[in-house]
Structure 1
Amino acid sequence: MGTIGDWLAGKGAARTSGTLRVGSMASGAPLNLPWLAVRGARPGRTLWLHGQVHGDEINGIVASLRFLRGLDADAMAGNVVVTPTGNPQALDARRKRNPYDELDLDQSYPGSAQGLPTERLAHAMFSEMRGVASMVVSLHTMNPLFDAPPYAVYKVHPDSPVSEADVLGAIAHFRPTLACRQDVGGKGELPGNIAGALDYQCLAAGISAFMVELGRGNAFQPENVALAENGFRGLAQHLGIVEGSPRATGVALRTVSRRGWITAEEGGMFVPRVRAGALVRSGESLGDVYGMDGSVTPVPPFTRDGILIGLRGDPVVHTGERLAFVAWEWADRLPIA
């Protein structure tokens, strides 16, 4: 077992913090991944909270650190691990991707010990999770240009012992507006290696895992931090790590099976008519684009109903830029048992 696993295998209630060494910068400054853990007085399962994959995702960092501070190790059966940042170079630069190789960390797992900086970060983190974590929550936000109510994203791995029902049961503790099943092929969503996401690789390793999107990037949003903390508490109760009965029983979820982006046809100032989270009916428009020549051009109306997962809050748009992230197909699931 690795550094974190070795410590968790010890006996007795305790808490600690440490770093995983990945390498160094040209200046000689170390490139490390920080971690914190609370070990319960009695053995049990391990809940792993991963606070930030992309450098502009702030709310998950704060929520996971605050939750860990409130734990009573003497009353626990099992462990909670927090890795507040998986991408410290991107965090320090306040941008999504690592500036030293421009790779997307959440398309780089399980990583490579001999790879580019991002791949080495992924390898160091995933090597510690494998065989140690019982459940991993990968915490994200939308990018800083978008407003979004909290929602969840999950994947299904064909060879994983973790079922879709298991993952949805865990997601229910966060009471998200939507639970989006992501197409691992990336169709209609994002280009690239979606199978390289942390949660998908966890599922491949037999670890229950999913993503929670906590609002807007590069911002502290107290209501979203509080929602995450409540979700962590419910999961810890569900796993038997802390005392109490989880309250997710009977929570219905709206699961999304298809989603995609609306983009701008012309540049200008985008002024929305609706809010993030709204249901937009067929025939309705998101808003208008004000041109620098004084023109006002409505965004083409929807040809079918859609739910706004995220809506652009920054009005400055160019042709082809994203205006909204939309759920096109969804179903209301029966309450999770």
Structure 2
Amino acid sequence: MADIGLKEEIKVSNFFSELGYFTRFHIQLYPRDGKISDIDVFCIKFDNHLFITRNIIETKRSTHSVSTIFQLFGLSKFYKNCNAFFVNDKINYKNFKIAKELGINVYSFERLKKLSEKDKRYKSINIPEEKGLEIVSYIDIIKKNNSNLFWSYHEIWLEKDPFKRLNLIKENFEITDDIWEDNEKNQAFLWLRKELFLLFFISILEITSECIELDNIRIRQYIEDKFYNLGTSKDRKMLLKEGVESLLEIINEKLGEDVDFEFDVIPEWIPNLESIIKKIINQAPFANEYLLLNENVFRSFLIGEPDHVSNFITNKKKYKIISGINASILSLLHKEEVKEDFNDFI
């Protein structure tokens, strides 16, 4: 039965991919034994002005689904600007009314399939069911190899603030850097590194969505303020930095030699992030296209097809732009300049 439910999630995820969304299925929010709470399908899309649409979809064949409806409603309120969809072929009228009163969209599998088939604007590579099942198994492999990475990865999906999420993804990627040499042939870790790149890309798009109304000179100030106030307030961080600097002066005076101690109040890579944000703002109408392009490259890798950006874009100008943005994002993740496309970076 578990495989049947998972196959339905893969199917619905493919439907929404065909409607122009970046989608993920079977997201485990609390994956403890016997207490798995998950999102069946998560979707995100950016319009020409980088306004964000998020969808959370629950797929159920059962008619006894009122508790699932309320759980879905709660999750949709947890995320910002989020629509809820309940996909069910056998929902009774009472539960249908409850769902509609909660603002939840109710579709049958067949209706959703027809809608996605009629929308020909987007070219999407579907994930076959057997490959989707294999992807889910990667999570278990990662848990067996590195439980800290396993739990840290799941935190990403519960972090609503894109600035905090950006830091969290970067930390996860650096963990994979440390263990990658011993796991180069491990397909699960290869999948995870590419997955983290795409989630990093999305977080940057979300941050850019917050910055698009700002003049160029105010973008740096805005993102610096956001990072200053992550966790401890900016004022306290500055006081702490001043205290560390004063202490170092005393130590250096006593020892008669310089003692270095790096204390970053905000990430040193903010200028690089600012540059990426400005590039994306200049390409705002195409941002979602670039995201889906990278997703198609990733999906091609997963199913063993040619997986290079050049295989999916013929416009030379757009190819140069997306390759440049990808390289800049990889440089943030790697802490050094990277020129490859994201599926070549390993």
Q: When the two structures are superposed, what TM-score results if normalisation uses the length of structure 2?
A: 0.24
Q: Which has the higher strand share?
A: 1
Q: Which has the higher helix share?
A: 2
Rg larger in structure:
2
